[in-house]
Amino acid sequence: MGINRLYQCIESRKINQSQARETIYRVLMDAEDECLTVSRILEELSSVYSKKVSLNTVYRHLNLFVSCKLAVMIQDDFKKAYYCLTGEKPLTFIICTKCNSIEKCSFNPSHLIDNLESSDFIALHKKCSKCRNK
């Protein structure tokens, strides 16, 4: 996995390499189990990339990642978009019914996965780990 998935996407689409695109991808890679909003991606980007990247550029690159199935975009109940990289299995998310945050979870029973092989992700609506502990 890793950055090679991005290079394969770029090559298959016959588009030029872009340092900004690669840096945005690395920001998502570094987030691991987190789902990031565009504002959070821009915040992280400004700390690791010396050039200014426009909001339009970030959205274009995120749309490329989603179209290449490198990432998924999931929206909370208020239509706020969150992005995270995909893996080998469909992702599962919890959308908190209290604070509306989105987090990845490890809910992957094999019988469910077998029936949903063509799915990109699954979303569950329940309290997140922070709200459950309050």
Q: What is 3-132's CATH topology?
A: Arc Repressor Mutant, subunit A (1.10.10)
Q: Which residue has the higher pLDDT, 111 or 8?
A: 8
- Kindly tell me the sign of the dihedral angle through the C-alpha atoms of 91, 95, 101, 105: negative
pLDDT of residue 57: 94
Question: For the residues of the chain, what is the DSSP string, one character each?
Answer: -THHHHHHHHHHHT----HHHHHHHHHHHHTTTB-B-HHHHHHHHHHH-SS---HHHHHHHHHHHHHTTSEEEEE-TT--EEEEE--SS-EEEEE-TTT--EEEE----HHHHHHTTT-SEEEEES--HHHHT-
Mean pLDDT of the chain: 84
pTM for the full predicted model: 0.78
Query: Where are the domains positioned within the chain?
Result: 3-132
**pLDDT over threshold 80, residue 60:** yes
pLDDT of residue 21: 95
What number is the average pLDDT over the span 104-109?
Answer: 64
pLDDT of residue 93: 80
pLDDT of residue 41: 96
Letter for the amino acid at 34? E
**Which residue is associated with the tokens 């200014």?**
52
**pLDDT over threshold 70, residue 110:** no
Nearest to 64 by CA among 14, 118, 9, 20: 9
